[in-house]
Amino acid sequence: MVHQVGLLFAKDLEKENIELNISQQAELPEIFADKNLTFQVLINLVKNAIEAMSNFKENKK
């Protein structure tokens, strides 16, 4: 699911010259959560991170 979100934002990440590194532990505990809500949370995290980094770069100029 994390990789799907990365692919979803690939063009935005490239446009903003942002590299997304995904690192996971080999053994993670199983969780029980709504797949669609979890996917939406990941989308929001990546979207907010892209916006924050873009704003940071603009303010740094």
CA 37, 42, 43, 47 torsion: positive or negative?
positive
User: Domain segments of the chain: what residues?
Assistant: 2-23+31-60
Give the pLDDT score at 36: 95
User: Does the reported pTM lie above 0.85?
Assistant: no
pLDDT tens-digit map of 3-61? 899 999 999 999 999 998 888 888 888 889 999 999 999 999 999 999 998 877 666 65
In whole angstroms, give the CA distance from residue 49 to residue 56.
Answer: 10
The structure tokens listed for 45 are 């995290």
In whole angstroms, give the CA distance from residue 50 to residue 2.
Answer: 15
In whole angstroms, give the CA distance from residue 61 to residue 54.
Answer: 11
